[in-house]
Amino acid sequence: MKQVQEVIIVEGRYDKHRVSQAVNATVLTTSGFSIINNKEKVSMLRRLAEKRGLIILTDGDRAGFFIRSRLKSMLNNVNVKHAYIPDIKGQEKRKDSPSKEGKLGVEGMSSDVIINALELAGATFNNSEKESTTRSEITKADLFEYGLSGCKDSAIKRRDLLKTLDLPERLPANGLLDVLNILYSREDFISIIKEPSLPQK
């Protein structure tokens, strides 16, 4: 499976699932239109754009283009690439009826179509073996070791960490792991966790 360096931004969780089946990448969602009023998440996306670059991959309908346009503006289009899916008429299997415009969204695209869209957008495809040897990653075991998951007060400790790092407070544990690995080395993460200002396990 091809590994994409940039963070890929899609609209919803079904889109995220579909893209994750096509490529190995960090995929985040806008949760539909809610991204427009979420200043914390937009600020996080700016930081991710600086570190890794972003690719916006929204549906080809009016709503998808509206979200893309707003994101482009809010992120000042800095280190942002745009991937477009083709207009294909149809209906996703999980839906009872087609979309208003009768087009398939990202979730209805084949892996080949998604990869082609990313290639046309100028995505950076990495050799995953080479990438993994350059630095050690923060793991789920690290989150557990430092009390950020699987412990009685994990939610409180995650919230405190997110506040310290100026990240959205509702970022789930798995999303936290993806974002931390882009923004920080494992060594930086451990030194931050051991700061006296953060509650220890």
Alpha helices in the chain (DSSP H): 13-22, 39-51, 62-74, 111-120, 128-134, 140-145, 154-164, 173-183, 186-193
Q: With a cut of 60, say whether residue 133 has pLDDT above it.
A: no
Residue 199 belongs to a domain = no
Q: With a cut of 90, say whether residue 169 has pLDDT above it.
A: no
- Which of 88, 113, 129 corresponds to the end of one domain? 129
Q: 163 or 55, which is more confident?
A: 55
Residue 201 has a pLDDT of: 45
Predicted TM-score of the model (pTM): 0.82
Q: With a cut of 50, say whether residue 44 has pLDDT above it.
A: yes
Are 81 and 149 members of one domain?
Answer: no
Q: Compute φ and ψ for 144, nearest 5 degrees.
A: -65, -45
- Which of 105, 129, 153 corresponds to the end of one domain? 129
Residue range of the domain that includes 97: 3-129
Two tokens, residue 45 = 């996306």
List all residues 6 or more positions away from 32 whose beta carbon is below 8 Å from its beta carbon.
11, 12, 63, 67
Residue 61 belongs to a domain = yes
Are 80 and 45 members of one domain?
Answer: yes
Are 25 and 48 members of one domain?
Answer: yes
Are 101 and 40 members of one domain?
Answer: yes
